[in-house]
């Protein structure tokens, strides 16, 4: 009889029971279905168990033998203990070594038969003999299930204390054999066929207990057609969700902004520069969306300094000309303040009213709220204070979110909900690899400014160590003599004993002593917003030569005359952070510099980050490298808030599959937006997105 696997508790699988069910729960396995999708992280070819005498150094090998000795050895160094196991198979001896795990000893006794596998090493002292560091081990019991564990390609699962790999493997074997006929394959046949995927049953079976003909390397590199089918399924559900969200917005009715563009033309006339052709093209795309009767949902990507703000202003003016309010939401008060300073004058000259709304201006907030609610204010610039309860717009027509990577999908939704289907434009300077943007922003249309304003020479980036400070000071002196301004960025505000990092406060004092004739100022997140605003304004006005700061200036700050940046403890910053910081210079016509000052010890990853910074200014390349160093999990981090987790697929490794999944998903939703012809798929999809975003309106 068919079981509903997604509701079938693992406890009732043969060989599990309540105690093991608890252990399985800690692995994230509660139901039979979750167990089926709990894939091995590695496979071992036990068709090829090696004789110990035939082992080869440096290779991953597996042997079977009897325990000769199991002993804990005290190492003279620092109280270290070594557990050492000696195993013989008659052809030779091999040792397994585990550092600091003396408790392992109690698991072994002489005469037991074990399987060991790991990378073969030489004994470091004698230079001969074989050993494994931290090998995987498994006991060969004379059980009837031996065929599960030997003489085949064997799955290795991550497990937990109290449940051996072998026990888990037996459980999985039983589980698959009892449940495999109850799985329901809800990917449409046509899609499977088109992509040469096998059915679900076959794919699950071969991802756990591969048939002997399957290439073990393809399994271990996660590229067998069976594993890929399972990854695809997950990506397909992910992309289906995104395409449904996107489609849903497209059919909604929004505002068709219908105006002739006088304000935009006036604004362009006031600019001291000509728009780049990328800016023009992108504005056309935005205008097209704004004129259409469906709400805009567009992502505008462009590297730091490419000129997104002007585009935002033009879009807001378009909304204002049609009598609607427009809002611009920025992630920090400094950035919101900057936007306000930069644009309110230009806009107010056109007879519009602009306001700045941040969390800190409590006193003024009431008045601001009234003006926003009554429609007196046309353009509202602010932080997340904009999406808080109590802020009501009279007729919000356009919502722009700047530097989106700081906001989640949820905040995007909240801002949209401040009006009936306003047009939404999301701007980001964090260039993200295409694969990532397909998932993070997969529900948005996409525009890119892929061109910097003319006359910019790329920022020259150089790396220094603490011994080269004199050189740096000379460079600061020279730049300021030319009338240029300098940023000096520190990782922390205060010195603390724990971190032992140079701090902004002490750094400022030191710089004042070194440069008695320069005006040195300090800005950081603990200052009152009003103070910060004043400092930024006087830096912008050229009254400050050297601005010492923390990463509060990371995003969006725009002072073209600042031509030099020194980042102290550059080894402590992340790659995208460094890139963002560097984007603060190189905004004017003059040659700009970014000096990275590193202090030992510098980890290998940190060194890689710094090297990339020196090598390239290209944000997209930096993002790819960043992804490569950090891996997708961390790169995504909290940014993925509001999206389902990908448990099997990996958007970097499976980029090609993701692309396919996206095309198939969007094509399917085009044909059948409600998935009415695929009720099973629809159910599976709802499960997958449960608790995140409601895909189908419950009617």
- The Cα–Cα gap between 563 and 483 comes to 10
Closest CA to 591 of 453, 476, 473, 455: 455
Report which DSSP code applies to 568. Answer: E
For Mg ion, give the closer residue by CB, 338 or 480: 338
The residue of the chain with the least Cβ separation from ligand ADP equals 307
Inter-CA distances, 119 with 86, 94, 96, 97, 138, Å: 16, 12, 11, 12, 16
Phi, psi of 14 (to 5 degrees): -55, 130
Q: Is the peptide bond before 601 cis (omega within 30 degrees of 0)?
A: yes
Residue of the chain from 102, 359, 408, 560 that contacts ligand ADP (CB under 6 A):
560
What residue 586 binds from Mg ion, ligand ADP, none (CB within 5 to 8 A, per partner kind)? Answer: none
Binding to ligand ADP by residue 135, rule CB under 6 A? Answer: no
Segment near ligand ADP (CB under 6 A); pick from 20-28, 60-68, 303-311, 493-501: 303-311
Residue of the chain from 96, 118, 188, 307 that contacts ligand ADP (CB under 6 A):
307
The residue of the chain with the least Cβ separation from Mg ion equals 556
For ligand ADP, give the closer residue by CB, 273 or 471: 273
Please name the residue ranges forming H helices in 571-639. Answer: 575-582, 604-615, 619-636
Q: Are 566 and 560 within 8 A, CB to CB?
A: no
For ligand ADP, give the closer residue by CB, 587 or 682: 587
- The Cα–Cα gap between 217 and 153 comes to 11
Length of the chain (residues): 699
Segment near ligand ADP (CB under 6 A); pick from 308-316, 373-381, 571-579, 636-644: 308-316
Least Å distance, CB 226 to ligand ADP, is: 45
Residue of the chain from 165, 429, 489, 548 that contacts ligand ADP (CB under 6 A):
429
Q: Are 259 and 317 within 8 A, CB to CB?
A: no
For ligand ADP, give the closer residue by CB, 290 or 429: 429
Binding to ligand ADP by residue 273, rule CB under 6 A? Answer: yes
Closest CA to 18 of 27, 9, 8: 9
Least Å distance, CB 85 to ligand ADP, is: 59
CA 658, chain centre distance (Å): 16
Segment near ligand ADP (CB under 6 A); pick from 191-199, 221-229, 298-306, 638-646: 298-306
Segment near ligand ADP (CB under 6 A); pick from 18-26, 108-116, 232-240, 555-563: 555-563
Residue of the chain from 179, 245, 304, 386 that contacts ligand ADP (CB under 6 A):
304
Segment near Mg ion (CB under 5 A); pick from 253-261, 381-389, 504-512, 554-562: 554-562
| Both tokens assigned to 201 | 């049953």
- The Cα–Cα gap between 342 and 140 comes to 73
- The Cα–Cα gap between 512 and 506 comes to 10
Least Å distance, CB 537 to ligand ADP, is: 16
Binding to ligand ADP by residue 64, rule CB under 6 A? Answer: no
For ligand ADP, give the closer residue by CB, 48 or 277: 277
Subset of 238-257 contacting ligand ADP (CB under 6 A): none
- What are 155's strand-pairing partners? 43
Contacts of residue 291, Cβ cutoff 8 Å, sequence gap at least 6: 256, 257, 258
Burial class (CB in 10 A: 0-12, 13-18, 19+), 530: exposed
Segment near ligand ADP (CB under 6 A); pick from 135-143, 275-283, 477-485, 574-582: 275-283
What residue 273 binds from ligand ADP, Mg ion, none (CB within 5 to 8 A, per partner kind)? Answer: ligand ADP
Q: Are 63 and 52 within 8 A, CB to CB?
A: yes
Binding to Mg ion by residue 556, rule CB under 5 A? Answer: yes
Pattern 583-602, ligand ADP, x by CB under 6 A: ----x---------------
Least Å distance, CB 436 to Mg ion, is: 20
Inter-CA distances, 173 with 41, 147, 166, 222, 493, Å: 16, 11, 10, 20, 56
Least Å distance, CB 557 to Mg ion, is: 9
Least Å distance, CB 234 to ligand ADP, is: 35
Q: Name the CA radius of gyration of the chain, rounded.
A: 31
| Both tokens assigned to 665 | 């998903």
Binding-site residue total for ligand ADP (CB under 6 A)?
Answer: 18
- The Cα–Cα gap between 354 and 350 comes to 11
Q: Are strands 60-74 and 81-88 parallel, antiparallel or unpaired?
A: antiparallel
Pattern 289-318, Mg ion, x by CB under 5 A: -------------------x----------
- The Cα–Cα gap between 321 and 324 comes to 7
Binding to ligand ADP by residue 375, rule CB under 6 A? Answer: no
For Mg ion, give the closer residue by CB, 428 or 480: 428
Residues at the site binding ligand ADP, with contacts judged by CB under 6 A: 273, 275-276, 279, 302, 304-310, 429, 453, 556, 558, 560, 587
Residues at the site binding Mg ion, with contacts judged by CB under 5 A: 308, 556
């Amino acid at each position: 009889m068919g079981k509903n696997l997604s509701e079938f508790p693992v406890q009732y699988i043969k060989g599990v029971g309540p105690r093991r069910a608890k252990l399985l729960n800690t692995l994230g396995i509660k139901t039979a279905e979750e167990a089926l999708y709990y894939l091995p992280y590695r496979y071992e070819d036990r068709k090829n168990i090696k004789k110990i005498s035939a082992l080869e150094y440096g290779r991953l090998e597996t042997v079977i033998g009897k325990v000769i000795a199991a002993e804990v050895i005290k190492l003279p160094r620092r109280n270290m203990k070594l557990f050492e196991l000696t195993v013989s198979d008659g052809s030779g001896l091999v040792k397994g070594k585990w550092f600091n795990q003396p408790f392992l000893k109690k698991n072994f006794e002489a005469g037991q038969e074990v399987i060991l596998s790991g990378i073969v090493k030489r004994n470091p002292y004698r230079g001969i003999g074989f050993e494994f560091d931290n090998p995987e081990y498994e006991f060969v019991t004379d059980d009837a299930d031996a065929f599960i564990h030997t003489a085949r390609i064997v799955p290795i699962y991550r497990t937990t204390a109290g449940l051996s790999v072998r026990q888990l493997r037996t459980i999985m074997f039983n589980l698959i054999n009892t449940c495999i006929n109850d799985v329901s394959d809800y990917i449409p046949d046509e899609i499977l066929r088109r992509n040469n995927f096998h059915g679900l049953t076959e794919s699950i079976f071969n991802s756990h207990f591969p048939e002997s003909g399957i290439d073990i390397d393809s399994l271990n590199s996660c590229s067998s057609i069976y594993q890929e089918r399972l990854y695809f399924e997950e990506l397909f559900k992910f992309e289906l969700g995104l395409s449904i969200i996107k489609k849903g917005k497209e059919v909604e009715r929004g505002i068709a902004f219908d105006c002739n563009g006088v304000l935009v033309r006036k604004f362009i006339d006031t600019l001291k520069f000509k728009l780049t052709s990328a800016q023009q093209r992108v504005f056309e795309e935005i205008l097209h969306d704004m004129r259409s009767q469906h709400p805009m949902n567009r992502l505008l990507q462009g590297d730091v300094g490419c000129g997104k703000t002007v585009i935002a202003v033009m879009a807001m003016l378009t909304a204002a000309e049609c009598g609607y309010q427009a809002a611009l939401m920025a992630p920090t008060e400094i950035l919101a303040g900057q936007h306000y300073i930069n644009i309110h004058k230009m806009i107010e000259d056109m007879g519009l009213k602009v306001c700045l709304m941040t969390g800190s201006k409590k006193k003024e907030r009431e008045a601001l709220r009234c003006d926003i609610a009554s429609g007196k204010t046309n353009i509202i610039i602010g932080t997340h204070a904009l999406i808080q309860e109590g802020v009501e717009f009279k007729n919000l027509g356009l919502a722009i979110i700047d530097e989106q990577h700081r906001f989640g999908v949820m905040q995007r939704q909240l801002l949209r909900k401040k009006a009936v289907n306003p047009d939404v434009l999301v701007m980001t300077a964090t260039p993200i690899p295409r694969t990532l943007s397909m998932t993070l922003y997969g529900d948005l249309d996409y525009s890119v400014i892929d061109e910097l304003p003319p006359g910019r020479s790329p920022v020259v980036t150089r790396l220094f160590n603490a011994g080269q400070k004199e050189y740096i000071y000379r460079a600061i002196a020279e730049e300021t003599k030319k009338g240029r301004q300098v940023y000096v960025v520190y990782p922390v505000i205060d010195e603390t004993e724990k971190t032992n990092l140079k701090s902004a406060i002490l750094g400022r004092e030191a710089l004042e002593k070194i440069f008695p004739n320069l005006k040195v100022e300090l800005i950081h997140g603990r200052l009152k917003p009003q103070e910060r605003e004043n400092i930024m304004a006087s830096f912008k006005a050229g009254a400050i030569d050297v601005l010492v700061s923390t990463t509060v200036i990371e995003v969006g700050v725009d002072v073209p005359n600042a031509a030099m940046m020194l980042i102290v403890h550059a080894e402590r910053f992340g790659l995208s952070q460094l890139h963002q910081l560097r984007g603060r210079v190189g905004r004017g016509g003059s040659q700009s510099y970014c000096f990275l000052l590193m202090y030992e010890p510098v980890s290998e990853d940190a060194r890689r980050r710094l090297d990339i910074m020196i090598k390239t200014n290209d944000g997209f390349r930096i993002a790819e490298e960043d992804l490569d160093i950090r891996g997708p999990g961390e790169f995504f981090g909290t940014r993925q808030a509001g999206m389902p987790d990908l448990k099997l697929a990996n958007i970097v490794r499976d980029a090609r599959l993701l692309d396919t999944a996206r095309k198939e998903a969007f094509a399917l939703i085009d044909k059948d937006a409600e998935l009415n012809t695929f009720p099973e798929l629809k159910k599976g999809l709802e499960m997958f997105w449960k608790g995140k975003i409601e895909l189908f309106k419950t009617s």
